[in-house]
């Protein structure tokens, strides 16, 4: 998994991308000129202290990593944790991420069903 690191990449995704929302996460998606995905994760100080923020970041990163092969490629994605995510466990974060990816049409759920 490659990360979005530069502020200009985050800003471009916020400006030009489409956003999808559920109770735990916000997903911004825009295309890139690369043949791979880049993911940025943003967790505000409003969500909690650094321990809480890093825990949520790790949960989002791991959820994406385990399902990475089912995502369309050539995308920049920014995942923003909402305040309600602070009490979420791994399965809730994973479900929220996959739900948003499905809403965005960037996740092939059929591939996931074959793995079960």
Closest CA to 17 of 27, 7, 25, 8: 27
- pLDDT above 70: residue 56: yes
Q: Report all structural domains of the chain as residue ranges with CATH numbers, in order of start.
A: 2-104 (3.30.230.10)
Both tokens assigned to 48? 């909690």
- pLDDT, tens digit (0-9, with 9 covering 90-100), for 70-112: 998 899 999 999 999 999 999 999 999 999 999 999 987 765 5
Determine if the pTM surpasses 0.75. yes
- pLDDT above 50: residue 116: no
Burial of residue 103 (CB within 10 Å: 0-12, 13-18, 19+) is middle
- pLDDT, tens digit (0-9, with 9 covering 90-100), for 19-51: 999 999 999 999 988 889 999 999 999 999 999
């Amino acid at each position: 998994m490659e990360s979005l690191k530069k502020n200009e990449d985050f800003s471009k995704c916020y400006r030009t991308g489409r956003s999808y929302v559920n109770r735990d996460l916000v997903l911004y998606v825009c295309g890139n000129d690369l043949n791979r995905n880049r993911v940025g994760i943003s967790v505000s100080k409003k969500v909690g202290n650094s321990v809480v923020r890093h825990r949520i970041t790790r949960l989002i990163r791991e959820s994406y990593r385990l399902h990475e092969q089912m995502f369309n490629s050539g995308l920049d994605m920014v995942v923003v944790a909402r305040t309600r995510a602070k009490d979420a466990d791994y399965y809730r974060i994973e479900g929220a991420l996959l739900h948003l990816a499905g809403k965005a049409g960037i996740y092939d759920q059929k591939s996931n069903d074959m793995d079960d």
